[in-house]
Amino acid sequence: MRRPEAPSESSSDAPPGAGLLARWRVPALGLLGGGLLLLPLVAGLADSPFWVDVGLRVVIFAIAALSLDLILGRTGLVSFGHALYLGVGAYVVGILADKGIESGFVQWPLAMAVSAALAAALSVVALRTSGTFFIMITLAFAQMMFYGASSLYDYGGDDGMHLPVRSTFGGLVDLYDATQFYYLALALLVLLAGLNIRLARSRFGLVLRGIRVNESRMQAVGFSTFHYKLVACVVAAAVCGLAGAMLANAAEFVGPQFMDWTRSAELMIMVVAGGLATPFGPIVGALAYLGLEKYLSDLTIHWRLAFGVLLILLVFVGRGGLGALFAPAPGGEAVPAHKGSFRWARPFFRPRA
């Protein structure tokens, strides 16, 4: 079977504001990468080591958001239960540590494997549905696991459990050293972001894009769309399980709160805010979301009210996400600075092809 062709892209299908800041794309990426790379050094010079922990949290959630973008942005599957795998990965690390298994070479791959296996089992059922029914069934599965984790009284129940010891890597990396932990997480983020770009250009990525645009047509030309979507869900769950393993170590805590549906909603906001199906959108979205959360919470105890107003503005003004501003303009054409609003010309969860 020949390689599928990417769906055609026209200027009418893209957000009117797409490419508005395309000329600043490289400097913006350089600033983002340089900021993440130099954060521990700057924090040390400023005698504010707390910012390394903040940066670590951003990187971990960027990995989780990157995994969600594979099914939400590239495949068009709206899941309100993706944080389930974040919690599963965290619980695998916590339970193994409680049993005396401290090696990260065992804990982290096993967290990914258990998350992937669970996703395979749940997705076989969930993918039999579509649209609103898919949203509801993923939410139901997540809440089932949430209450299941709450009943694990040997591991803290509702209160969760303290992680006895952070993962060890045979002296190669010390996770109790904030700088070493940060750079390990950042290296994994860079690796996964590169694989994400590679996947988007591969045959598999093109099929996922075709499924998002018109699944019936992809089935008509001979693709088993169910199996492609299943693989996408399993891969996304494995990556999210890795993020959960790192989150458990960073927080030194494991609890059912990690897999609550509100956590899934936060991941979805990060992906949408950064830009669906864009190479670095989930990373930018995680940085923007957690950065605003930190800034507004320092200003007022009612920060959620102001945060909600900003999210409403995002929905009505910038549906393309931050990533669309720096994306190349459709057809390579320059976009004038006075180009109007950044609204998507099509429904909210239909990203630019």
The answer to whether residue 281 scores a pLDDT higher than 90 is: no
Retrieve residue 187's tokens: 């290296």
Domains of the chain: 22-332 (1.10.3470)
What average pLDDT does range 137-147 have in this prediction?
Answer: 94
Quote the CA–CA distance of 351 and 277 in Å, as a whole number: 7
Q: What is the pLDDT, as a whole number, of residue 318?
A: 63
Average pLDDT of the chain?
Answer: 85
Of 80, 93, 118, the closest CA to residue 259 belongs to: 80
Render pLDDT for 208-265 as a digit per residue (tens, 0 to 9).
999 999 999 999 999 999 999 999 999 999 999 999 999 999 999 999 999 999 999 9
Render pLDDT for 53-67 as a digit per residue (tens, 0 to 9).
999 999 999 999 999
What average pLDDT does range 262-285 have in this prediction?
Answer: 89
Cross-strand bridge partners of residue 161? 254
Q: What is the pLDDT, as a whole number, of residue 59?
A: 96
What average pLDDT does range 187-216 have in this prediction?
Answer: 93
Q: Which range has the worst mean pLDDT, 2-6, 152-156, 178-182?
A: 2-6
Name the residue type at position 206: L
The pTM of this model reads: 0.86
Name the residue type at position 339: K
Percentage of the chain with pLDDT > 70?
83
Quote the CA–CA distance of 329 and 134 in Å, as a whole number: 33
| Count of CB atoms situated within 10 Å of the CB of 227 | 11
The answer to whether residue 319 scores a pLDDT higher than 60 is: yes
> Between 5 and 274, where is the model more confident?
274
What average pLDDT does range 104-111 have in this prediction?
Answer: 96
Q: What is the pLDDT, as a whole number, of residue 19?
A: 55
Distance of alpha carbon 106 from the chain centroid: 23
